[in-house]
Amino acid sequence: MINYPSSKLPDINTSIFTVMSALATEHHALNLSQGFPDFNCPEPLVELVNKYMRDGFNQYAPMPGVLRLREKISEKTEKLYGYQPNPDTEVTVTTGATEGLFAAITAIVKQGDEVVVLEPCYDSYAPAIRLAGGMPIYVPLAEPTFRVDWDLVKRRISSRTRAIIINTPHNPTGAVMTKQDMDILANITNGTDILVISDEVYEHMVFDGKEHYSVLQHPSLRRRSFVVSSFGKTYHTTGWKVGYVVAPPSLTTELRKMHQFLTFCTATPFQLAIADFLEEEAHYRTLPDFYQAKRDTFLKLMAPSRFKFIPTAGTYFQLAKYDAITTERDVDFAKRLTQEIGVATIPVSVFYHDKTDNHFLRFCFAKGDETLEAAAERLVRL
């Protein structure tokens, strides 16, 4: 009999995203759960990937990323945020943003460290903290707007606080941080050794005439921050798993120590193709209008329903309160919707460590109009 070691994450099971997508497939449901588009990426980008594959660029890329892509990332960052990171010492291409987040967390968190996490939150943060020997310190966002209660954040900081993780635009709520939020965060961390991990993968999806304010625009914050971005979100290519992290040289050095033993490098033809396609600025500059139109279409279609909405300020997710329909727990309601109504969503309680259930579902509207129309037709009958 083999005495297998106990689990490092005994309370972690298959993610809800995998569960709901599998349930959607089983019941032939419209999948508004997992955050991926059901439309293709730009055709010229596909052609560029094919070109580089045919031209023989199919071996390992440099560990930090193809230099030309890092240079293009640096140029894009300067255009958008007024800061040009050094492509050699401050930009690292990662195999998706989740790998970048894991590398950043494990690079800095040691046994006994605490990391402040704002929740509801993306589900990879806490497991990475715990695997590094740290402890997540949870701070709830304030409903119904899900703004940060900075006074509560300050009260949760201790002598053991190593980092604060922020996410703007925010998954799952769609809340967007402002310059004022960043000023407060800077004031909280000034004079301390607290680092910041800023998850900005939805940076190009901010609506209603507002703009994304990046940590990179704040001089005192960018000196202590990892900023994580995602080409998968920007170019509708979540399956390619290409992201990147911008951080000061000393933090980049430590990040790359983790990165080289996680994936070492990211697929070469994807990197080269994206480097070329970054010349097409119109794509990411028009993305806010593109996704706002989808948000508005979805909300208009859902207006006759009994769901309650506050229009999301960013991301391609929309929360919906369903307490006028049922008192079921959100996980149970989400599964029933998939099985009986044929629409898959994500229950928001899974984004809380204690499974707080305020009767919210998360809908992904990164879908074709036909999908949104068909889903809404079913949901308004409830």
What CATH number labels 16-41+282-379?
3.90.1150.10
Cα angle 154-155-158, degrees, rounded to a multiple of 5: 85
Stretch 14-35: mean pLDDT: 88
Say whether 328 sits in a helix, a strand or coil.
Answer: coil
Is the separation of the CB atoms in 305 and 382 below 8 Å? yes
Global confidence as pTM: 0.97
Residues of the chain with pLDDT > 70, as a percent, come to 100
Q: What is the reported pLDDT for 16?
A: 80
pLDDT tens-digit readout, 112-122: 999 999 999 99
Q: Which CATH class is domain 59-281?
A: alpha beta
pLDDT tens-digit readout, 134-176: 999 999 999 899 999 999 999 999 999 999 999 999 999 999 9
Gap between the terminal Cα atoms of the chain: 53
With 90 as the cut, is the pLDDT of residue 58 above it? yes
H helices within 172-229, ranges in order?
179-189, 219-222
- Predicted confidence band of residue 179 (pLDDT cuts 50, 70, 90): very high
Is the separation of the CB atoms in 340 and 322 below 8 Å? no
Stretch 218-222: mean pLDDT: 97
Strand 225-230 to strand 343-344: parallel, antiparallel, or no bridges (unpaired)? unpaired
Report d(CA 93, CA 43) in Å as an integer. Answer: 23
With 90 as the cut, is the pLDDT of residue 309 above it? yes
Place of tokens 């995998």: 18
Is the separation of the CB atoms in 165 and 132 below 8 Å? no
